[in-house]
Amino acid sequence: MKLTVLSGKGGTGKTTVSVNMALSLSKIQLLDADVEEPNCKYFIGTDFDKEEKIYRKVPKVDQEKCTACRKCVDFCEYNALAMMIDEVLVFPEICHSCGGCKRICPVNAINEVDRELGNLKHGVNKYGIDFWQGELNIGEESSVPVIEELKEKTNPNKNVIIDAQPGTTCPTIEAAADSDYCILVTEPTPFGLSDLKLASELMDELKIPHGVIINRAEEDSDYIIEDFCEERNINILLKIPFIRDFAHLYSNGIPFVIDYPTWKDEFKKVFKEIRGVLDEKDNGN
Amino acid sequence: MKKITVISGKGGTGKTTVVANLAYLAKDLVLADCDVDAPNLHLLLEPKVNKSEIFKSHKIALKDNDKCINCGTCYDVCRFNAVEPISYNIDGYKCEGCGVCVAMCPEDALSLKLLETGNIYQSTTEFGPMIHAHLNVGADNSGKLISEVREKAVEIGNKQDKELILIDGSPGIGCPVISSITGVDLVLFVTEPSKSGFSDLKRVAKVIKHFNIPALAVINKYDINEGISEEIEKYLIEEKIELVGKISFSSDVVDSLRNAKLIVQDDQENRISKELANIWHGIQNRINYN
């Protein structure tokens, strides 16, 4: 089973849910797909045993061959190429690596060279969690290829939990796209509600079964989220209460199930519930 | 006119809350919500929308099935796995609109179509004009929408002779962040004392350094972990980033938020309000100094 944990808004507790859930279950693979700011590592506590660099291709112009015909400059949809008098300049940061300029050049003056985009790192922690993280290099703009490479590491024999980037655009979609189920993490504030609406819209669009976990839950405020979920018929899987000690543990990179092990049972229940939803769906088909 | 973008690296550190409260303290400014992926500033400032425009910048390849001969050239040339095997249908989420398939198709069966990316709103708040946007779910190219929001805010600021533009940025270090800091005079980091908050701050601060933009910082909820707060303070000194203030952890902030109110407006005697007022003084000093 492949589960993606996501949220419209950042800082709602995706990593908290991913890590605590991973620690509560067995045969788990955890993928940190929040490649702009990967943080699971602080909570998982593992030394990395493997690193793979990720490269992408960017054009390099052979000025000897170039006839300054401008065809590449006109072709590029991202304005990553520009004409300076009679020389083509390349802006590799904004290049999407589509390879079009190389194909379009009538005199074969464009070659492609590798540019490092990010890396993947692997480790197994002391509880046996098989952990991979993707990381985007600073100054690079495009997370998606890193997430694609990271997902290649998916082990089909394990229960896979993917910690996605917040939002509803390409990086989040790339992480969630072929998941069996998505957990939307939110908090009982107007911000949390507004961003949950966007995330659930995305789920409807992608047609992925999903449920909600309310983080920093407080009895007299949870209605903000509960009313919405009831109206949309979205299952609330769990509420993680607002406890200052949880926040403190988080700040030190300690998953709260370590200090409060009874919470493992709560995450096991959530997992069982998700499995039930998926089984029912399979039987229905 | 000074342009300041508020960013954090990590989400949920309190950017929007800080921006909205600073808007009250600044009284007369232009606001821009460049977190188009998850815009929230409007929830606190309740702007009146005067003008809404559709923004198109997102292209995808479109196939004419009558012309297609199923040769598979598009599948072979696409670097984004946006062409499905066998059917050769285009996956709109994966397509980045590069136009390679369009150029290579031997039957001229493909074309690039410009799609709606979202809406841009020109609005009015109690504290001045505000530019914000709505990004269509699943739309690509939020960077261009962000640039448009930022540029519109600058245009209005110039026209109305405002002294300050305050921009609510987005989390992360990638394309949206880079779009929201382009051409600004100052960056204000809102960070929190957690291992992940600190790590994310360091990553985004490197991006800012790369673009050579002066930066200030606020540590929000600093008393959640005073040890890490001290580490952050040391780091800020090393990096020559001025700490303009620290904000205590208080449930009053969340309570104001739930009532869609600004704490500085609602309860001026509150400790948090005083801390925010000090931060505003620090920013003003820095603006005047520059």
* Same-domain check for residues A14 and A109: no
Contact state of B210 with A139 under an 8 Å Cβ cutoff: yes
CA atoms within 13 A of residue B96's CA, in its CB half-sphere: 22
| B52-109 pLDDT per residue, tens | 999 998 899 999 999 999 999 999 999 999 999 999 999 988 899 999 999 999 999 9
- Does any CB of chain A come closer than 8 Å to the CB of residue B72? no
User: What pLDDT shows up at residue B197?
Assistant: 96
Give the HSE-up count for residue A249: Cα atoms under 13 Å, Cβ half-sphere: 17
Residue ranges, comma separated, of all CATH 3.30.70.20 domains in chain B are 65-108
At B175, the pLDDT band (50, 70, 90 cuts) reads confident
Task: Dihedral sign for Cα B212, B216, B218, B219, please.
Answer: positive
Show contacts of B249-254: CB within 8 Å, 24+ apart: B249/A244, B249/A247, B249/B221, B249/B222, B249/B223, B249/B224, B253/B14, B253/B17, B254/A189
B174 CA to centre of own chain: 11
Contact in structure between A215 and A17 (CB atoms under 8 Å): yes
Residues A277 and A212 placed together within one structural domain of the fold:
yes
Of B11, B98, B140, the CB nearest to A11: B11
Residue A192 forms contact with B (CB below 8 Å): no
From-to residues of CATH 3.40.50.300 in chain B:
2-56+118-289
CA distances from A72 to A61, A79, B144 (A): 10, 10, 21
Considering only CA atoms, which of B26, B8, B4, B51 is closest in space to residue B262?
B26
Answer yes or no: do A72 and A142 share one domain: no
Confidence band of B34 (pLDDT split at 50, 70, 90): very high
A60-82: buried (b, 16+ CB within 10 Å) or exposed (e) per residue? ebeeeebeeeebbbebbbbebbe
Domain CATH code at residue A81: 3.30.70.20
Cβ contact B40:B170 at 8 Å: no
Same domain, A249 and A185: yes
Q: Establish if A60 belongs to a structural domain.
A: yes
Nearest Cα residue in chain A from B95: A170
Name the average pLDDT for chain B. 94
Out of A167, A188, A250, the one facing B37 most closely (by C-beta) is A167
- Together in a domain, A108 and A156: no
Please check whether residue B112 touches A, CB under 8 A.
yes
Phi, psi of B267 (to 5 degrees): -145, 85
Which of A153, A116, A129 lies closest to A29 in space, CA to CA? A129
Question: Using CA atoms in the order A84, A90, A95, A97, what is the torsion angle rounded to 10 degrees?
Answer: 130
* pTM, 2 dp: 0.93
Domain span at A179:
2-46+125-284
Average of per-residue pLDDT across A203-215: 96
pLDDT at A141: 83
Please check whether residues A42 and A78 belong to one and the same domain. no
Query: How do residues A84-93 score in pLDDT, each as one tens digit?
Result: 888 999 999 8
The CATH class for the domain spanning B2-56+118-289 reads alpha beta
- Looking at the structure of chain A, the number of domains it has is 2
* A129 and A243 both lie in a single domain: yes
Give the distance, in angstroms, between the CA of residue B32 and the centroid of all CA atoms in the same chain: 9
For residue range B138-166, list pLDDT tens digits in order.
777 688 899 999 999 999 999 999 999 99
What pLDDT, on a 0 to 100 scale, did the predictor assign at position A285? Answer: 57
- CATH of residue A220: 3.40.50.300
Domain-located, residue A51: no
Are residues A106 and A185 both part of a single domain? no
Same domain, A251 and A144: yes
For residues A61 and A27, state if they share a domain: no
Chain A residue with minimum CA distance to B259: A190
Q: Is A166 among the domain residues?
A: yes
Segment B47-53 shows an average pLDDT of: 98
- Residues from chain A that touch B100, judged by Cβ atoms under 8 A, are 98-100, 103
Contacts of residue B274, Cβ cutoff 8 Å, sequence gap at least 6? none
DSSP alpha helix (H) spans, chain B: 15-26, 41-45, 73-77, 100-104, 142-159, 175-181, 195-210, 226-238, 251-258, 263-266, 271-289
pLDDT digits (tens, 9 = 90+) for A12-61: 999 999 999 999 999 999 999 999 999 999 999 889 999 999 999 999 99
Query: In this structure, which CATH number among 2.40.70.10, 3.30.70.20, 3.90.550.10, 3.40.50.970 belongs to the domain B65-108?
Result: 3.30.70.20
Instruction: Identify whether residues A174 and A148 lie together within a single domain.
Output: yes
Say whether both A131 and A101 belong to one domain: no
